[in-house]
Structure 1
């Protein structure tokens, strides 16, 4: 996150604050790497309070004026990013600090969508829902958290909303039938880019996607998208331009077959590794993700993304990457940020200490719902395994609390509520089974 190109602060007081912030960041990194024990709320709050104290001092030094970005700003950003991910890890997902990392990722995604000019209504709907949730977090957390942090996040959220509105305007320039075609083209483009970055290039997969593009091309009349009456649809030129772009990309992908030039192979290898790791986490995140792990992925991606010159990467001789390389690397970066966004949004309001219990209950609930939807059980005996598991989890509580040592981890309400739901489902199934058994006995 920091590079030698970013200057040190000139002010002696800022230099002192920088030293203290670097110490906080180093402690947070050590805490993040320690896998021998779960992360406790009290550990995180100590560093959060220290961080807020340094922010107060910095505001007093700067008195509203900003001398231009220096090393201190970058270290402060790293500290807030780490603290934010720690708040997610301890289950305090609705606290203001937890919103910092998510707003950073939303802003990064919007930057990329704006730059590429390629986005679907689903992309925008998801980001809009997330911003709405963040809005609620900021409004409810004003009194409890640093005014500096609340103000910073409010400004960033407002900027994201404006960017989102501009993207929506672009979609509204298309008639409804063309919005569907446009979304289909975006989906095909992304599928081709995915096929292009697989370990083993599948020619047939890309050829099938190219055939779909040609099918869309053939649906045009004299190069225009028209309605049933033959009227040219609003946005026909924009969608035709995108179609031409997709067809050209399909030809390039089939010609290159996933081969990246030597000069950019290192970046490509790093990005495919990050993408693949995040993809695995997105499948197993309930059991294997510690949100603070996302910091390293983000740092790697930010570094590569920000190394671009005029939107493109350059080789050792300063030559820009050709179109094929540029699009391939941008796809991998954007896909990776998308996974980070998904993983942050999926963060449960439960401390990692309680996640094993919480995940077991979620699995139990899914099983019980499945049993109910498939007609229930024919005898009470069939429910014994579920009842035994529920009772064993319930017996773990001490005075109604799930304890870990002497600690009461965050997320008690969420776990207890899920346990109650499982007991209710089990009871409903038991009552239905008893009625069935009584009916059979009476007949």
Structure 2
């Protein structure tokens, strides 16, 4: 679980805290791994309280110490505990509560660090993260009177670091000429598409050449090596775009030359990252039906450890030699892509307990079908609505006093499921009313 280079706590007051947190982490991992029953809030909250109690003791022990202390094993175990609690809160449907924010905040920081390191990104990348940070801040603000100040201080510090990194990246885009924004976005897409082709099971020379054709098309609109407007005037602030263009040419050449084959010294790292990326890709397709948010913990930890094993930002082989440009960029692409998948899975998590997800997913599917029927012109007679009405009634009949029970429990997310059920009823009513209006007309 830990990197072998992580030091043990030097302060004797921290050792008992570490031992207790190790026991709590074991309990959290057992809860995560138990697929025999649904996870419930009452399973998670006592473990959350245990972690917060240890954090308060740790803060008291470190109060007089230098805050720039190197992270020791206790910090890593504490991070594991918060990650697990955060994912467990999402699993039980408590997405809009402060503890659920932790995993998302750490993933966003990883993404921002990688975007800055890569040196190329688009406004779309930053827009999504900006909105997510705003909503997570709102979640923290709502939890001020409910959750421990120790937790809120920790989360606010994480979000503040994210905001600092985000501002730096936004400033990098602000220097671009507005006239070149679309070209810049296209070049970012070409770089990423080239990296994607580079990691496919079967390398496609045709795809890379197609991307090079796009570069030629962009280049054809340049004049004397410069980007110009419709009147032939040189556009300002174009150095970054020209550098990105040159990078696209060199990367497509390198990828064509290597034909998707990575240096053998880095083959093992490549295969590990490729498997993580592919598993997360599959999860992103089936996540509504198969994802238990706590499953993401294993992927996060594997990625974190691979990322942290780099030396001065470089991947190194078993003998300590740094990776060549092709291997370095390929491995970094796979890490970034994997963190991107985790981010997308976290923000798409529904505020509904896993116990209610089967019902919620059925209603989501029903809603989509009804919207498609409505947008395609409705139904010709009310009998066509019978299958939808019967399905809605069967779900509605599962409720007792307006609530969905799973055994004796009332899982989180009742409001979301009931709102979706009401929306489906409204769609059926609208479709039925439209048929009745048509039948009443002479």
Task: Tell me which interval the TM-score lies in, with the shorter structure as reference length.
Answer: over 0.9
- Give the distance between the partners of 2:321 and 2:219, measured in 1 at CA: 35
- Residue-by-residue CA offset, 1:108-164 (whole Å, 9 max, x unaligned): 011011111110000010110011111101111111112111111112211211211
User: What are the equivalent positions in structure 2 for 1:334-345 lying under 5 Å apart?
Assistant: 334-345=336-347
Match of 1:167 in 2: 169
Indicate whether 1:400 and 2:402 are aligned.
yes
The structural deviation recorded for 1:318 is 1.6
The structural deviation recorded for 1:436 is 2.5
User: What are the equivalent positions in structure 2 for 1:137-286 lying under 5 Å apart?
Assistant: 137-286=139-288
- Give the distance between the partners of 2:267 and 2:392, measured in 1 at CA: 52
- Give the distance between the partners of 2:64 and 2:74, measured in 1 at CA: 16
Match of 2:46 in 1: 46
CA contact (8 A) 1:378 1:436 kept: no
Change beyond 3 A, Cα 1:64–1:366: farther
**Superposition TM-score, scaled by structure 2 size:** 0.97
Q: 1:427 aligns with which of 429, 434, 440?
A: 429
The structural deviation recorded for 1:64 is 5.4
The structural deviation recorded for 1:57 is 1.6
Change beyond 3 A, Cα 1:101–1:421: same
User: What are the equivalent positions in structure 2 for 1:287-298 lying under 5 Å apart?
Assistant: 287-298=289-300
- Residue-by-residue CA offset, 1:333-356 (whole Å, 9 max, x unaligned): 000000000000000000000000
- Give the distance between the partners of 1:204 and 1:156, measured in 2 at CA: 44
- Give the distance between the partners of 2:338 and 2:3, measured in 1 at CA: 23
1:12 aligns to what SS in structure 2? coil
CA contact (8 A) 2:3 2:305 kept: no
- Give the distance between the partners of 1:428 and 1:228, measured in 2 at CA: 51
CA contact (8 A) 1:305 1:333 kept: yes
* Unaligned stretches of 5+ residues in structure 2: none
2:144 aligns to what SS in structure 1? coil
Indicate whether 1:323 and 2:356 are aligned.
no
- Give the distance between the partners of 1:166 and 1:50, measured in 2 at CA: 37
Match of 2:2 in 1: 2
2:249 aligns to what SS in structure 1? helix
The structural deviation recorded for 1:329 is 0.5
Indicate whether 1:13 and 2:13 are aligned.
yes
Indicate whether 1:373 and 2:385 are aligned.
no
CA contact (8 A) 2:9 2:73 kept: yes
- Give the distance between the partners of 2:287 and 2:188, measured in 1 at CA: 27
**Superposition TM-score, scaled by structure 1 size:** 0.97
CA contact (8 A) 1:286 1:359 kept: yes
- Residue-by-residue CA offset, 1:289-319 (whole Å, 9 max, x unaligned): 0000100001011111111111111112221
- Give the distance between the partners of 2:245 and 2:52, measured in 1 at CA: 51
Match of 1:299 in 2: 301
- Give the distance between the partners of 1:234 and 1:173, measured in 2 at CA: 9
Change beyond 3 A, Cα 1:164–1:296: same
CA contact (8 A) 1:224 1:237 kept: no
Q: Which moved more, 1:174-183 or 1:340-349?
A: 174-183
- Residue-by-residue CA offset, 1:254-301 (whole Å, 9 max, x unaligned): 110111122111111111111111111111110000000100001011
CA contact (8 A) 1:103 1:157 kept: yes
Q: 2:117 aligns with which of 103, 115, 118?
A: 115
Indicate whether 1:61 and 2:66 are aligned.
no
The structural deviation recorded for 1:88 is 0.6
CA contact (8 A) 1:378 1:437 kept: no
- Give the distance between the partners of 2:267 and 2:112, measured in 1 at CA: 27
CA contact (8 A) 1:48 1:83 kept: yes
- Give the distance between the partners of 1:121 and 1:154, measured in 2 at CA: 25
- Give the distance between the partners of 1:63 and 1:175, measured in 2 at CA: 48
- Give the distance between the partners of 2:56 and 2:332, measured in 1 at CA: 38
Number of residue pairs the alignment of both structures matches: 440
CA contact (8 A) 2:116 2:169 kept: yes
- Give the distance between the partners of 2:295 and 2:325, measured in 1 at CA: 32
The structural deviation recorded for 1:241 is 1.2
